[in-house]
Each structure stands twice: as structure tokens, then as C-alpha cells.
Amino acid sequence: MQEIIIMEKLKCHQYQHIILISLDSLRNDCITAISSDFPDKFIGHGKLKTEMLNYVISRGTYFINCISAAPYTSASHAAYFTGCWPKRNGVYEFFNRQLGLPTIFELAKKAGMYTIFQTDFPIILGESVGFTRGVDKYFVESEGDAFLELLKNQHRSTVSFFHFGGIHYPYGFHKLKFAETDFPKKVFELENKFNIHYSKNSKKHPDMLDESYRSKKDKNFLLRYKAIIDALWTQGRYNDLHKLYIEGIDYFLKHRFNPFIKKIIDFVDKNDSLLVLFADHGESWSLDSRGHSNSIDDVVLRVPVILYGKGVAKNTVVSKLIRTIDIFPTICQYSKIARTNFDGEPINLMNPNNSIGSREAFAQVWRVGDRNKVYQHQQHIIKDKKMIKPLSTKLEKEAAYHDGFAINREYDVDGRLIKEILFKNTGKCLVTIDKKYGDITHLINLLKKYNRIRCYKNHKINNLKRSIVDDLKVLGYHI
């Protein structure tokens, strides 16, 4: 039996280049290849153009029912990069602990591949969390230079990662560097429109947390933008916030992303490459959802994942449930990176629909306390360049998805359940249903099982056994 599996594995094409692109905060329903009325509601019918993303989708496979393991950046990326649940890899809170498991970059380097990492968020996707481990060349806010590095190394085997923060607030811009005139202009315009006056000395300071290093001038515009967002959210102006978000996507795609992705598509077509395009979480404004970091709304957890490369099923939309932790095991199958212990399961890229059985997805939000406390903690970490004693945290919200149903649960500071909602998962979105129409106990038991997971460092799993199971799954066996 084992020989047959090994022979079948040899048939899986091993790509020379693996290219990962992360569009931070991109909601799945903002890609217009799949009809959705969300963007149209805010900036007019058909105005949001995602033509380059649509182009990749038409030539590749688009997973529309992929659930992120966390609504915040570090934890979500850690799940993609380790193929393991946040509770297993150690990064399950906003920004509090280091990765306890090797990442795709460490394992690729071990396999002799050259690794490139470009990020707009060097603080939360950087050294202190463990993201630079195994990275040969690390770039900050310079996708052009990172792409040149890839070109320079195209004769080798590579794994490269390009992260963009332009869809995150300040919507569309990320930094003055990318919108020297338009970013300040927008801040003035919004302050006037909504009559908001930011004061540095205000006692009620907006969110001071940052994802990147900034000049004083840049920081000032960011804080003013955050003060606008804070005011709009407090006033319940969710439509205004969504409009800003959609306009931001439009701006970012036009000014920064489209020229970049054209170069990547050209590279993929000329070289033996697998492209994986994804988001870490979405964005939503409501009483319960302040953008993304405190939210388990389906529109925040449901993330677009698009794969493209020679041999990947073309023009294929997959509505079966997958998880962000399934991406690394899938890449492993199609590269020379050696197999490791994953929670995720691989997907057969030639025939994705038939290789995906019944999968369970989980996501959690951990409460850290007030934002100023987290900011002070972040400042210590930046100064010491390493993680310090973690802040104490408590589970605030959690979600489980399985077999066409999903559950959201919320807890108070003492851990008491204060909200519980059951949903039907249509494969494209969630619809609220009465608890009597679904097996809520089953979903609660899944969450209990999930909460028993501990960091892998303390676990020993039989590697061989795990790899045989994964091989069988990618061949289409439902086990």
C-alpha cells in the first residue's frame, strides 16, 4: 500500500517557484468575479473593478468557502504559514506570543529553496512573532525590490511572499509613501465632512497600535484617520465606514496592486510556478464588529483563496468548506518541501472538488484588555526586539463550521456564554436559522475538542502515519 502511495505522490508536479500573495483585509464578497451586491451598495453599481483578480480566477481555482482561523493579521498568517490551528502553533491572540512551530519559510529553506518575504506590516509580521525565521531576504513596503529579488533567483527553487496592507485602514493608502497627496487630502476631506477635530492631547486617544514603522508626519495622519474611524463607529455610521473601505480597495488596486500582479502573472506564465493569492481576514462595521479584530462575522472570517499555475484546475469555483490551514499542506504536496505535522489537509489541485471531504473550521477572538495596555506591550516588544511575558487573555468569541452549519458564541469577561447563534452555510455565506433546525450540540462539542488543543511542542505524532493519511486524502479518499 505504501509503495502505491509514494508512486502516486511522485506524479504530483513539484513547482520550482511558490508565490504567496496576501491582500490584508480583503473581503471575499468584494471580488466581483462572484456576484455580490456588497460593493455596489456603497460606491455605485459595477464601479468596483477587480479585473486583475477576476483574470487570475478565470485561469485558476477560486475557493469561496475558506474560513480563516483568526480575524487578526498575525494569527491568521501564522495559520497559513504553519498549516496548524492557532492553538497548536501558539499564535492565537492579537500580538502576544511567538510561533511555536516551523513556518513554510523555515521548511523551504531546509529543502534548499530560496526564501523572500515582503510585508507592509513589519511589526506584526516580523521578527518578534517569528515570521523572519528561515527568510533569506526580508523586505518592508517594497514589493518592487522583492520582485527583483525573485527575478534574480529565478534559476533556483524559491518561496516568495508578498503582503499588502493597502486595503487595511487608512483605506487604500497604507502610508504617505504610496499616496503622498491623496492620503492627507482624504484626511482633511473626512475631518471637514464629519466635523471631526483630532487633538494630540485628547484624553480619549484613538487606537495607538501600529503595524509598521512610521515617520512623525505619517503617524500623525494615521492617528487622524483612526480618530475619524473611531468617531464614525461610535456614531453608528457603518455605511460611511463601508463606503470608505470599498473606495480604499478601488484606490489600492488601481494605484499599487494591478501593475504588480501583471508582473507576477507574467512570471508565473514564463516560469514553473504556483501562485497562491489570499486574504488574512475581511472587514465589517457593526455594533459587534469594529473592522475585523474583534469580529467573528462570516464576512470577516470568509477569505478569498485563489490558486493559479500550470496544472491547476482552470476557471473553477469551489464552494466546499476549506480552512486557511489547508493551504500549506497543499503547497507541500506540490513542492520539494518535506512533509511535517499539519492540522490542515491537502487539496488535489487538478481535481479540487473531489479531494475535499467533510472538514471542520474554527476561529477565535481572544480578549486582551484595553487597547492602551496592548499598545504599551507592543512598545516593549519593539524596543526589546523579542516577545516578553505575554499579557493574560481570555476567550471572547468563537466560531465553528461543519457540514453546512456554523455556530457563533460569545462570552463575558468571566467566561459566561452571553450569545449563541446558529447558521446555515450556503457555501457562499451564512444565513441565521432557529436552533431547532440544526445540531447545535455537535458544533459545541467540536469547539470543546478544539479548545483541548495544545501547542505541538508538547505533542508527538507519528510522522509516517500522518503523511500516509494526507497522501490518501489528496488522492481523493475520504478518511
Does 280 bind Zn ion (CB under 5 A)? Our answer is: yes
Q: How far is the CB of 25 from Zn ion (least distance, A)?
A: 5
Is 283 an interacting residue with respect to Zn ion (CB under 5 A)? no
Q: Does position 24 bind Zn ion by CB under 5 A?
A: yes
| CB nearer Zn ion, residue 279 or residue 312 | 279
SS3 408: strand
- Residues from 160 through 199 that contact Zn ion (CB under 5 A): none
| Number of residues in contact with Zn ion under rule CB under 5 A | 3
What region does 453 belong to: left with phi over 0, alpha with psi -120 to 50, or beta? beta
Minimal CB distance to Zn ion: which residue? 73
Listed ranges 16-24, 138-146, 256-264, 317-325: which one lies at the site for Zn ion (CB under 5 A): 16-24
Phi, psi of 159 (to 5 degrees): -125, 120
Phi/psi at 126 (5° precision): -135, -160
d(CA 224, CA 409): 34
Is the Cα dihedral 80, 411, 372, 297 positive or negative? positive
| Piece in contact with Zn ion (CB under 5 A), picked from 30-38, 67-75, 190-198, 413-421 | 67-75
Closer Cβ to Zn ion, 24 or 240, answer by number? 24
> Which segments of 279-323 are extended strands (E)?
284-286, 289-291, 302-309, 316-318, 322-323
Residue 73 as a binder of Zn ion (CB under 5 A): the answer is yes
Nearest residue (CB) to Zn ion, 198 versus 252: 252
| Residue with smaller CB distance to Zn ion, 28 or 73 | 73
State the minimum distance, in angstroms, from the CB of residue 286 to Zn ion. 18
Q: Is 120 in the site for Zn ion (CB under 5 A)?
A: no
Provide the CB-side half-sphere exposure for 285 (13 A, CA). 20
Inter-residue contact 338 to 107 (CB < 8 Å): yes
Using alpha carbons only, give the angle 192, 195, 196 rounded to the nearest 5 degrees. Answer: 100
| CB nearer to Zn ion: pick between 73 and 333 | 73
Give me the residues paired with residue 17 across strands. 158, 273
Radius of gyration of the chain from its Cα atoms, rounded to whole angstroms: 21
Rounded least distance, CB 295 to Zn ion, Å: 12
Contact residues for 136 (Cβ-Cβ < 8 A; gap 6+): 109, 114, 115, 116
Please count the residues of the chain. Answer: 479
Binding mask 409-438 for Zn ion (x = CB under 5 A): ------------------------------
x/- letters, 229..268, toward Zn ion (CB under 5 A): ----------------------------------------
Pick between residue 24 and residue 218 the one whose CB is nearest to Zn ion.
24
**Interaction site with Zn ion (CB under 5 A):** 24, 73, 280
